[in-house]
Amino acid sequence: MYIVIIGAPGAGKGTQAVNIAKEMKLAHIASGDLFRQAVERGDELGARVEEYMTKGMLVPDEVTIKMILQRLTVDDCGNGVLLDGFPRNIKQAKALEDALKKRDKAIDRAIYIEVSEGELINRLTNRWICRQCQVAHQGGYNPPGEDEKCELCGGELYQRADDNKETIKKRLSVYFTDTMPVIEYYRQQDKLLEIDGEGSVEVITGRILNALQKREFINK
Ligand code: AMP
């Protein structure tokens, strides 16, 4: 079982991916998290990708595709995978399709979380991420202070380096140019589930699970 989750930066795909992967017992693979971990480790991959991330640009396809295809060979992927943040352009979508085809597999569903542009900017400039469970929290008028902990797991909260106005603008423009065609790609294959991404986290998780169920993808 292979599912991809697509949405603009700030659409809540990371948070939803954590919930859906847990509910469906899938391995959660988030390309952005893998890159951030490499940057934090300060290894060769981290050094290679840091500048692209800081600028809000996509990391070159050959680096990204290699990293994801390697990750897909790890044992925890045996029960299925939820890919979060990959594929982000048509080249990546085709490379994934080819690699899965070689193993007699295919993407089963693509979940597209739709949020208006104004709401995306609002969310991105106010979000705090938990280092432990990766869930994003909205700061609103009282942004969590440095001492605040994640209300779900008690982990430390931080603001992403690329959640600043300049980089947000770039990331959104990359999304509209490069990633929107991927949505069409899966629509044409009749794999797309379009989800209204405005509402509480729990409500949106419910919408996704319902949509998967309606297409007889999960039995509940
Ligand atoms: P994310 O956490 O998904 O918002 O990703 C953060 C950053 O990591 C992006 O702005 C890109 O620089 C890089 N990145 C993540 N996924 C990909 C991908 N599939 N292709 C290229 N770059 C990526």
Instruction: State how far the Cα of 54 lies from the Cα of 164, in Å rounded to an integer.
Output: 10
Ligand 1 in reach of 71 Cβ (< 6 A): no
The pLDDT, as a whole number, for residue 140 is 53
pLDDT confidence bin for 143, thresholds 50/70/90: low
Instruction: State how far the Cα of 83 lies from the Cα of 58, in Å rounded to an integer.
Output: 16
Classify residue 130: in a domain, yes or no: no
Per residue in 1-58, pLDDT (tens digit) is 999 999 999 999 999 999 999 999 999 999 999 999 999 999 999 999 999 999 999 9
By mean pLDDT, which of 63-72, 136-145, 173-182 is the weakest?
136-145
Classify residue 52: in a domain, yes or no: yes
Q: Choose the most confident range, by mean pLDDT, from 167-171, 180-184, 197-201.
A: 180-184
CATH number at residue 202: 3.40.50.300
Count of the separate structural domains present in the chain: 1
The pLDDT, as a whole number, for residue 83 is 98
Distance from Cα 52 to the centre of ligand 1, integer Å: 9
Distance from Cα 180 to the centre of ligand 1, integer Å: 15
Does residue 64 register a pLDDT over 90?
yes
Classify residue 162: in a domain, yes or no: no
Average of per-residue pLDDT across 112-120:
94
For 121, residues 6+ apart whose C-beta sits below 8 A from its C-beta are 10, 168, 172
Looking at ligand 1, which atom is closest to the CA of residue 88?
19
Q: Which of 36, 109, 123, 127 is catalytic?
A: 127
Is pLDDT larger for residue 131 or for residue 189? 189
Inter-axis angle of helices 165-174 and 117-125, nearest 10? 140
Q: Which residues make beta-bridge pairs with 196? A: 114
State percent of the chain over pLDDT 70: 93
Residue 57 class from Cβ within 10 Å (0-12 exposed, 13-18 middle, 19+ buried)? middle
Asked if residue 190 lies in contact with residue 179, where contact means CB atoms within 8 angstroms, the answer is: no
Classify residue 141: in a domain, yes or no: no
Asked if residue 136 lies in contact with residue 14, where contact means CB atoms within 8 angstroms, the answer is: yes
Is pLDDT larger for residue 146 or for residue 205? 205
At 133 the three-state DSSP class reads: coil
Does residue 91 register a pLDDT over 60?
yes
Q: What is the rounded average pLDDT for all residues in the chain?
A: 92
Instruction: State how far the Cα of 149 lies from the Cα of 220, in Å rounded to an integer.
Output: 33
Within 13 Å and on the Cβ side, how many CA atoms surround 20? 37
Distance from Cα 133 to the centre of ligand 1, integer Å: 18
Does residue 219 register a pLDDT over 90?
no
Classify residue 131: in a domain, yes or no: no
Per residue in 93-104, pLDDT (tens digit) is 999 999 999 999
Asked if residue 190 lies in contact with residue 5, where contact means CB atoms within 8 angstroms, the answer is: no
Classify residue 109: in a domain, yes or no: yes
The pLDDT, as a whole number, for residue 220 is 46
Is residue 123 flagged as an active site residue? no
Classify residue 30: in a domain, yes or no: yes
The pLDDT, as a whole number, for residue 57 is 94
| Residues spanned by the domain of 94 | 2-116+168-214
**Given ligand 1 and candidates 49, 57, 58, which is best to mutate, with the most ligand atoms within 8 Å of its CB?**
58
Classify residue 159: in a domain, yes or no: no
The pLDDT, as a whole number, for residue 141 is 45
